[in-house]
Structure 1
Amino acid sequence: MEEARQSGVIGKLLGSVNSTMRRILFTFMSSGPIPQHIAFIMDGNRRFAKKWKLEEGAGHKAGFLALMSVLKYCYEVGVKYVTVYAFSLDNFNRRPDEVQYVMDIMHEKIEGFMKELDMVNRYGVRVLFIGDLNRLDEPVRVAAEKAMEATAKNTKTYLLVCVAYTSSHEIPRAVYEACQEKSKTNNNDDDGIVDVNDVIKAVDLEKHMYMGVVPDPDVLVRSSGETRLSNFLLWQSNNCLLYSPKALWPEMGFWQVVWGIFKYQRSYYYLEKQKKQA
């Protein structure tokens, strides 16, 4: 009993030391530019499970714990928007049992996240689900809607979860809606026909993008050392830093976040120059 008590005291002490050291490092980092928005492609859950010979689903559970840690570090250092790629529209082409399995995990993790009220309230997180939500199973869609409603008044930080999403779906949808809006404005009808003299500008499209509710990402991270964008934020990532740590997603943590921000700070002035020239 005494040994367990001492172990608990030591654990709390180490946690306090780690928190203090993290705060000192983040204060130092804050003397330079901090990315406003970081997006993550969470790659490697299955490979992690295979690597450690774990049961099916264990990689996704470990990935959820990694997400909680990554969010905490991002918000603590001053990142306001975090976007994660949770489920691609293309993934609906997988076997039905595999899709259902992922839907069940997603439902479990949405409800699990909403039980993390300490973190949600401490960092004032507003949750937004991005994509064609009608494609989701009803329990998942309802859970997503409840999470958005429960956090709707939070404005300090944001978590955007891209589900049933691909850029190749987002962009044509934005074009269609921009044409519909232009048609209604100029012709007072809704036939979607745009006058030849009307020009659909980038700003018209961006207004109708799923991701138009937040600024474009400053850093796009894909774990596992992969460099493919996998149809994710193709429109929004034209002037952001691409970062591919070798860690599988469940292995992502403090140092991957720190190193990604340092890389952003080192490239900041070049990136800003490119944005102005765009």
Structure 2
Amino acid sequence: MSVITPSPGALDDRGPIGSVPGVTQTVRHSLAIARRNLRKVLASPGQVLDATLMPVVFALIFVFVFGGAISGSNAEYRQYLMPGIMALTITIASRSSGLSLNTDFTNGVMDRFRSLPVARSAVLTGRILADALRMLVSQLVILAFALLIGFRVHTSVVSAAAAIGIVLLYGIALCWMHAYIGLVARTPETVQSVGMLAMVPFQFGSSIFVDPGTMPGWLRVIVANNPMTLVVDAARNLMIGGPVAHQVLGALAWSVGLIALFAGLSIRAYRRRV
């Protein structure tokens, strides 16, 4: 009996054998892998706590310890800070995308995926889908906490939902960025270190904690063009009032641009590694 060798085209997006799956199959595979990733989160709820506990601690310290010194009033600073804390939450939660992918390679899970008739792109999209849902839960938890300590939405439910949506879209963009880091780094420790260092300038060089108007002129230019500032200001103005057109358009442009860039880089890195 002769041995049939699969053509190179059969290796593009599926497993080692078989034709390339269509869109419907790819979506189904992505949802199945997302389900698998969510089950891992349910088995280890510390992943959700890690993404919510640190922002809560930050909020408590800054509002009740530094709030009076920064803004003159804890209540006034609370209104300013909490939308920023919502955005800070996704910068922390998004890091798990890269760490989980890198760990799956280290543990041999990716070798198992390669042997299955699963669309290769579904491995990445399933990871991002699961992390997006986890970030949404984190956003709702932080918003509930904000309301509990006295934060109030001064606009409408629709505007508040739009604010969450903008923050979540930016979080998805960061997930793709961290996914790329996880795919090119060799160890989980490297992923954690690089991911944290990459986010620190975005977190503290933004309008999360203080009004950029109090910063030196040269720094204000940098902060004004930081995508984090645009996302935070868009969410803040959507929830407590203020101009939103420039901030929303800027936040959307940055998010879509980052997704386009890092999704492409991640797919290329994944194909090289598998």
Identify the TM-score tier after normalising by the shorter chain.
Answer: under 0.3
TM-score by length of 2: 0.23
Task: Report the structure, 1 or 2, having the larger strand content.
Answer: 1
TM-score by length of 1: 0.23
Task: Report the structure, 1 or 2, having the larger helix content.
Answer: 2
